[in-house]
């Protein structure tokens, strides 16, 4: 097959800088179960080999090594206990113990709870994590504090707190943002110039509207996120903003704060129609991950998946994004049906230079690039 003119990192950089890459960049997100089946089907030794065969411009994630106090099985550094839940075709971890659930004041938390210390992590081996992978986009640092706050308090109580206990929300989010900021800063200092993207995230959207009011986002989340975003940009990196669901109403605020990439584009959510997002925000954002994971991926046929990928590659339809495949666990016959092959990757001719580095999923990617 033709030799690529760019490395995966250069390809990502071109898209982030609104330049034309040599071909469509590809990313890959999947459940562990799906990745295991894909590796086995391709006959590869591991996922790295499988993604190389599929020409995926995968992101390499780096982070420090935990060296703090010993943790009980299933417990994270915040004292949240997690339990594996089987949903039939795979498993996921659910938080089942919320260490701050019983407290009602900042004073109680300060008296009874120990926040993680940045010194509980060792950053010395970060250069080793990057070594030999310099040609890939490196992701490091970032924040998603309200997700942690929900685990600390329970999901329902966390949202109630926004109205009934704002002092506690501010206190906890400040501590969580501070920890994330220090972690990100130490990563940048240990491997200067290596990190290309940092994950500044928060799930704000539901199926039809925001789960927060815009005023709550501006009060509780945006100040800390803006501080994180400024740190990312000071390191000459880009802000990858993950925000599930219909987050359209808050996008102008997030753009003003400085996000660079929006993920995902869940276009079946009311208000997240692709054409409207492209029209209103395409000049400010790179869109990452527009393949539907509510119907098309878990329930659609192979032909439906192919059609949706092709639709995202037509410039006049939605030139800002290719496709996402958050690969769900699949049956062996499904893998056989897609006839995975090694083929030349897509060229970039006729597609906007603002195309998102998406197409997250090897099956959709290979089906689209396969020749008859």
pLDDT at 157: 98
Is there a contact between 361 and 324 (Cβ–Cβ < 8 Å)?
yes
**High-pLDDT (> 70) share of the chain, %:** 83
DSSP structural state of residue 29: E
Quickly state the pLDDT bin for 145 (edges 50, 70, 90). very high
- Cα within 13 Å of Cα(348), Cβ side: 22
Is there a contact between 263 and 242 (Cβ–Cβ < 8 Å)?
yes
Quickly state the pLDDT bin for 328 (edges 50, 70, 90). very low
> Taking the model in full, what pTM does it have?
0.86
Between 128 and 363, whose confidence is greater?
Answer: 128
The answer on pLDDT for 348 being more than 90 is no
Quickly state the pLDDT bin for 284 (edges 50, 70, 90). very high
pLDDT at 137: 97
177-190 in b/e form (b: 16+ CB < 10 A) is bbbbbebbebbbeb
Residue-averaged pLDDT of the chain = 85
User: H-helix or E-strand containing 164?
Assistant: helix 155-164
Q: Give the residue extent of every domain in the chain.
A: 8-369
The answer on pLDDT for 369 being more than 80 is no
* Strands 138-143 and 121-122, bridge-based pairing: unpaired
As a whole number of angstroms, the distance between CA 241 and CA 258 comes to: 10
pLDDT at 310: 74
Over the stretch 205-214, which tens digit does the pLDDT of each residue have? 999 999 999 9
Is there a contact between 340 and 364 (Cβ–Cβ < 8 Å)?
no
Token pair in block for residue 58: 């995968």
Closest CA to 242 of 202, 214, 272: 202
- Cα within 13 Å of Cα(282), Cβ side: 18
Task: Determine the 3-state secondary structure of 84 from DSSP.
Answer: strand
Token pair in block for residue 206: 């539901």
Quickly state the pLDDT bin for 182 (edges 50, 70, 90). very high
Which of the listed ranges 66-80, 279-293, 333-347, 356-370 does the model predict with the highest average pLDDT? 66-80
The CATH code belonging to domain 8-369 is 3.20.20.210
As a whole number of angstroms, the distance between CA 169 and CA 158 comes to: 8
Task: Give the Cα-Cα-Cα angle 366, 369, 372 (nearest 5 degrees).
Answer: 105
């Amino acid at each position: 097959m033709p030799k690529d003119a760019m490395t995966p990192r250069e390809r990502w950089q071109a898209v982030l800088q609104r330049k034309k890459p040599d071909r469509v960049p590809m990313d890959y997100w999947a459940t562990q179960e799906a990745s295991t089946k894909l590796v086995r089907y391709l006959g590869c030794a591991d996922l790295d080999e499988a993604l190389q065969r599929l020409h995926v411009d995968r992101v390499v994630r780096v982070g420090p090594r935990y060296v703090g106090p010993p943790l009980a099985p299933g417990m994270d550094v915040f004292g949240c206990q997690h339990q594996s839940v089987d949903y039939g075709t795979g498993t996921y971890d659910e938080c089942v113990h919320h260490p701050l659930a019983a407290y009602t004041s900042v004073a109680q938390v300060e008296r009874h709870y120990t926040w993680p210390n940045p010194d509980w992590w060792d950053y010395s081996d970060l250069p080793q994590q990057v070594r030999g992978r310099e040609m890939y986009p490196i992701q490091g640092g970032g924040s998603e504090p309200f997700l942690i706050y929900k685990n600390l308090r329970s999901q329902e109580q966390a949202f109630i707190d926004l109205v009934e206990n704002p002092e506690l929300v501010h206190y906890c989010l400040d501590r969580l943002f501070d920890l994330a900021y220090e972690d990100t800063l130490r990563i940048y200092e240990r491997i200067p110039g290596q990190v290309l993207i940092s994950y500044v995230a928060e799930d704000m959207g539901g199926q039809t509207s925001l789960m927060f009011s815009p005023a709550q986002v501006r009060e509780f989340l945006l100040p800390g996120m803006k501080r994180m975003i400024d740190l990312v940009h000071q390191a000459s990196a880009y802000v990858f903003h993950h925000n599930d669901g219909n987050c359209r109403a808050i996008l102008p605020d997030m753009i003003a704060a400085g996000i660079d990439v929006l993920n995902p584009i869940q276009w079946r959510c009311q208000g997240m129609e692709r054409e409207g997002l492209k029209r209103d925000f395409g000049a400010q954002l790179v869109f990452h991950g527009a393949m539907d994971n509510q119907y098309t991926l878990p329930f659609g046929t192979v032909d439906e998946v192919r059609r949706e990928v092709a639709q995202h590659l037509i410039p006049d339809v939605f030139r800002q994004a290719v496709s996402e495949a958050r690969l769900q666990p699949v049956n062996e016959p499904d893998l056989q049906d897609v006839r995975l092959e090694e083929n030349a990757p897509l060229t970039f001719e006729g597609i906007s230079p603002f195309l998102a580095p998406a197409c997250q999923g090897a099956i959709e990617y290979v089906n689209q690039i396969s020749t008859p």
